[in-house]
Amino acid sequence: MRRMLSFRDFDWTLLAMVLVLCTISVMEVYSATLHTRFTSFHTKQVFWIAGGLVAMFILAKVDYHKLVDWSPWAYGVCLVALAAVKVVGHKALGARRWFAFHGFQFQPSEWVKLVLVLVVARYFANLGGRNLTWKEIFKALALVGVPMVLVLVEPDLGTTLIYMPVLIAGLFLGGISLRQALILITCAIVLIGGAWSSGKVLKPYQKARLTSFVNPDNDPKGSGYQVRQSLIAVGDGGVWGKGAEKGSQTQGYFLPIPYTDFIFAAFSEEHGFVGAILVLLLYFFILMRLIQNAQTAADLSGSLIIMGIVAVLTFQIVVNVGMVIGFMPVTGIPLPLMSYGGSSVLFTFLALGVAMNVRMRRFVN
């Protein structure tokens, strides 16, 4: 008997947890912008979330096998867009990362994340999960490496780093051996060391941001300012927090951009250790639910897609939270479903839509 696609197979539990995080996001964006000129940001965030929900349900109905088949074309379009944004993109804070249309900004590098997940899943699924040859590994490195280079020269180091987990997840699930992995890790360490010492790959301000978290007090008014103020905010929250709209670091304009990169610090100040742990538990349950869906996928490409999404989300969560508490460098990576921003919100919901797509087709012939 043919099993038809139905929204009864939709992961409503996962969606409920996602909506709880989105509600927390809107409330915290409202609090963080209460006494600023960005008081409409929480309303915009609601619109982005609503648009993301619509896009998620639409994408959940499109067979993910078709998305995988279309991914090489989407990949080509993305490469053209990344090259074009460097030439004709809107310049802000010394970087060209956006196309600007009558006040609306579009950031191509955000959409590349989802396309890379699909392309990498297609590549390794076609290999059938067998042991990888070096030729196949180098092809995978080039597949992800080209957009990484294009984004790095914008420059946008944070987004460049987000592409790496997609490649790592693909190689790990695609059949790389331990020996090959160790060789690649060694080569990566050598290349990173060479890039750092050359002075041609990373700009001085990028190096300062990557090292300031080790000892922010060395330059408390410069490169260490963001980390220092974030640590003060997190510590100031104590166990239960100061209460909504009562955080002195957040409301006193000491905490930098508390509605985007440092929204977790703002939330921790106002809701304390207990609130921070509850948010982290929500993320944990969301990721575990996605992994469960990957395990029950109908084929290898479905599993690879969801695990690629898990890799990206996990990386963003770990780096952002680690940055806030001084364990990671400041890279400008947003916190999924919490940080303000249309591109980030839409990417997350589209990614969840694809994951739902895979789940709903577990038993479809």
Per-residue pLDDT, 213: 64
User: Could you tell me the pLDDT band of residue 361, with boundaries at 50, 70 and 90?
Assistant: confident
Q: How far apart are CA 345 and CA 34, in angstroms?
A: 21
Q: Taking the CB of residue 177, how many other CB atoms lie within 10 A of it?
A: 11
Please state the rounded mean pLDDT for residues 72-82. Answer: 92
Instruction: Give the integer Cα–Cα distance in Å for 365 and 363.
Output: 6
Whole-number percent of the chain with pLDDT over 70: 85
pLDDT tens string 160-198:
889 999 999 999 998 889 999 999 999 989 988 887 777
Name the nearest CA neighbour of 85 among 110, 114, 108: 108
**pLDDT score of 340 more than 80:** yes
* Entry pTM: 0.91
pLDDT in tens, 235-277: 888 999 988 888 888 887 788 888 998 999 999 999 999 999 9
User: Is residue 302 within 8 Å of 358, Cβ to Cβ?
Assistant: yes
pLDDT at site 201: 63
The three-state secondary structure class of 100 is strand
The beta strand positions in the chain, using DSSP E, are: 90-92, 95-101, 104-106
106 - beta bridge partners? Answer: 99
Contact criterion met (CB below 8 Å) for 112 and 300? no
| CA separation for the pair 159, 138 (Å, rounded) | 22
At residue 209, the pLDDT reads 64
28: closest CA among 319, 250, 354, 309? 250
Helix axes 342-360, 41-61, angle to 10 degrees: 30
Residue 350 to residue 112: CA distance in whole angstroms: 12
Beta-carbon neighbour count of residue 120 at 10 Å?
27
| Residue 15 burial (CB count, 10 A) | 17
Average the pLDDT over 308-325 and give the result. 94
Average pLDDT over residues 349-364: 89
Burial of 127 (0-12, 13-18, 19+ CB in 10 A): middle
Is the predicted pLDDT of residue 216 greater than 90, yes or no?
A: no
Three-state DSSP at 261 gives coil
Phi, psi of 11 (to 5 degrees): -85, 85
**Residue type present at position 365:** N
- DSSP-derived 3-state class of residue 280: helix
Give the mean pLDDT of 130-141: 91
- Three-state DSSP string of 163-211: HHHHHHHHHHHHCCCHHHHHHHHHHHHHHHHHHHHHCCCCCHHHHHHHH
Distance CA 268, CA 177 (A): 41
Which of 128-142, 201-215, 242-256, 348-362 is predicted with the least confidence, judged by mean pLDDT? 201-215
Write down the pLDDT at residue 51: 94
At 203 the pLDDT is: 66
pLDDT at 256: 84
